[in-house]
Structure 1
């Protein structure tokens, strides 16, 4: 009898926030630009420079958290995560470990198997690192700090996904939600949405999780799906051969369709977290939360339901017309001017698209 295996997957999704300036300084967050031109003493980690929190970052994090049904820590603070890497100018990253701004949420996904809730463990604010460019010709690495200090939220899911189909549905759900909220453009090719995949396998029916690995360097949905299939097969092969799966961070090479070990997986204690002494705690008032709730846009599911009810459109049409907030806005304005939503929808589904 062949053993049956189940894949257990949790994701850490980094979303770059669409603020005009960085999280702790006034430098531009614009993508591109000549290397090291969007920088200052704060985001390049110069001694004696002090961070000042960008209020818009907190607002965007709250918007995202509320849309994903999260609880809000109304008293939260920043922590230092210490590690030494050339693209990390201060030798620590300012993040949130002990009191993340949002926690215990969920989003609902839809796959061929039906609807499913994916729980969100937490969302926290942090700063992005710079970017290393490896020059093969000169055999050296160059660093560009333009991205250093760009605000991120990291969305950490519970290990609730069981297939690459569920993972892609979850990522598409998050991407659509963030774009509707206007908190991020979520362009994977520019790195403004990145996902690390934590994956383990276990025998079907087993209570305990297997040993997980984390895969990095995934910058398209196709690469994520391929990496999940590749890593699942690699782990099953090891188990079948009676070998142990090592807990480690692996890097996926999409051209070779192969992952290789980068480093053994660190625990929180290896980062020597402690509260950041330069940043005061954040107090989020009830009034501020209420204000943000009142400003939340109509999200895609609500729009789809309204299009079917108000305009009498089929579910398929409503689904296509709400794929982006921009398209939905154009459709609504056109329908209002023309006065016949069904004909407007037909024209959009045909000529416009």
Structure 2
């Protein structure tokens, strides 16, 4: 498809983002939400849909949702109600999901994202509370679908954007902003690959300049930020191609196939009336007081944009470095813990932005899985700052720390990398190098001052790399200038 044809149309995208909350118990039942339990062990009669069981609201579900609402500039409803969303599926034994419909607890917010240097404001229609369904497992039994209800009843928030997103790149930036905020609030770990952050997208196209919205499709099964971007790009192109060839876009739900890099039909898209929403009769309205709002506001942490600016002002960083460090809350925490131990932020940012991020990217891990603790990294930086090791030794020790739990100084000694700053050790080596190279000495004295590097190299070679090069420079210069 030519770029001219792509430019003829405008994409209209809205995202529905589900965040699994980090509460210790389920939304309406006193049972653990911890990940990784044996199937169907973290359940109660309520989770199993037994008749006569009554839900009890988890207060943290309310508080965490309000935190997200305040962090995304939403209004908070003083009164909101739960609703039953009715549908039949094997992993939903009650036959309905407790959610919110007409009265979401948070509404009319927005987020600003930056794409290609331009700030774009994306509206947030609503943030509401709901419970998760169970999990259907299709790949463990050749004849049957298995059901695990451990996840049934896990607290979720759904964040519904306005159809303000115009490109896959804007969608990516918006999703990344949501992840960043939930991490900073510590209400969700934001891990899309593990399902704690999930995204559905509503996509339509229209000729540029047209106000009327086109027929939309819904995209599901996008399990990474990049897959969201790829799926949106594919679907936009598919719809343009379809319309250009005289066809019509049908309203339907599509699954993204990451292996084939294309979408396939799941079902015709449901509307709200298909779910027969009605107020949840077993739960009272959620009442939010001003005192409760003030209390939750006081609990809000330093948010990403504020932290980024503080890094620029307090640590003298470039905005780009500050962004790279604060984009992930846990990486920013790691950085600041090391700074607290070392004192000087400059050498800390140097190694975190280069070596640490290199390892995280190469291994596809998070900073929480990084094998070098803040204490050990601080020790490595400190012995470098104290000139006990040189820069190449620092890199060698860092790579060894990824494999062993030993401290930096112990490894430096074990690998024979401790730098010598003892004049009595270096004096005879320096003197010997000068005496062995009379021609170079004469050239230096004739103005070839760059030869000091040659003499330093000779001393480093004869000391087997142990000499402190700065001290060697001072000693050689002093002797040659005599």
The answer to whether the superposition gives a TM-score over 0.5 is yes
Partner of 2:158: 154
Map 1:251-270 → 2, pairs under 5 A: 251-270=255-274
Which residue of 143, 146, 150 maps to 2:147?
143
TM-score (norm 1): 0.96
**Is 2:331 the partner of 1:327?**
yes
Distance 1:181 1:55, change over 3 A: same
Q: 1: distance between equivalents of 2:355 and 2:234?
A: 41
Partner of 2:119: 115
Give secondary structure in 1 for the equivalent of 2:292: helix
Q: 1: distance between equivalents of 2:31 and 2:141?
A: 31
Q: 2: distance between equivalents of 1:91 and 1:346?
A: 55
Deviation at 1:118, TM superposition (A): 0.6
Partner of 2:209: 205
TM-score (norm 2): 0.71
Larger Rg: 2
Q: 2: distance between equivalents of 1:147 and 1:282?
A: 24
Which residue of 63, 66, 82 maps to 1:62?
66
Which residue of 175, 179, 193 maps to 1:189?
193
Deviation at 1:325, TM superposition (A): 2.3
Partner of 2:299: 295
Distance 1:232 1:341, change over 3 A: same
Q: 2: distance between equivalents of 1:162 and 1:345?
A: 35
Give secondary structure in 2 for the equivalent of 1:328: helix
**Is 2:290 the partner of 1:286?**
yes
Q: 1: distance between equivalents of 2:244 and 2:338?
A: 60
Q: 2: distance between equivalents of 1:58 and 1:197?
A: 25
Partner of 1:310: 314
**Is 2:173 the partner of 1:169?**
yes
The total of aligned residue pairs comes to: 353
**Is 2:11 the partner of 1:7?**
yes
Which residue of 241, 244, 247 maps to 1:240?
244
Q: 2: distance between equivalents of 1:137 and 1:291?
A: 50
Q: 2: distance between equivalents of 1:351 and 1:186?
A: 24
Distance 1:161 1:47, change over 3 A: same
Q: Which has the higher contact order (CA 8 A, sep 6+)?
A: 1
RMSD of the TM alignment (CA)? 1.6
Q: 2: distance between equivalents of 1:25 and 1:288?
A: 23
**Which string of whole-angstrom CA distances, capped at 9 and with x for unpartnered residues, describes residues 105-133 of structure 1?**
00110111511111000000000000111
Stretch deviating more after TM superposition (128-137 or 295-304):
128-137
Partner of 2:225: 221
Partner of 2:477: none
Q: 2: distance between equivalents of 1:351 and 1:230?
A: 35
Partner of 1:22: 26
Q: 1: distance between equivalents of 2:353 and 2:212?
A: 48
Partner of 1:47: 51
5+ long unaligned stretches in structure 2: 358-482
Q: 2: distance between equivalents of 1:56 and 1:24?
A: 11
Q: 2: distance between equivalents of 1:56 and 1:229?
A: 37
**Is 2:257 the partner of 1:250?**
no
Q: 2: distance between equivalents of 1:226 and 1:317?
A: 27
Stretch deviating more after TM superposition (107-116 or 342-351):
342-351
**Which string of whole-angstrom CA distances, capped at 9 and with x for unpartnered residues, describes residues 198-239 of structure 1?**
000111111111100001111111211111111112111221
Q: 2: distance between equivalents of 1:100 and 1:30?
A: 27
Stretch deviating more after TM superposition (191-200 or 248-257):
248-257
**Which string of whole-angstrom CA distances, capped at 9 and with x for unpartnered residues, describes residues 267-325 of structure 1?**
11111111100001111110111111111000111001111112221112211221322
Q: 2: distance between equivalents of 1:327 and 1:224?
A: 24
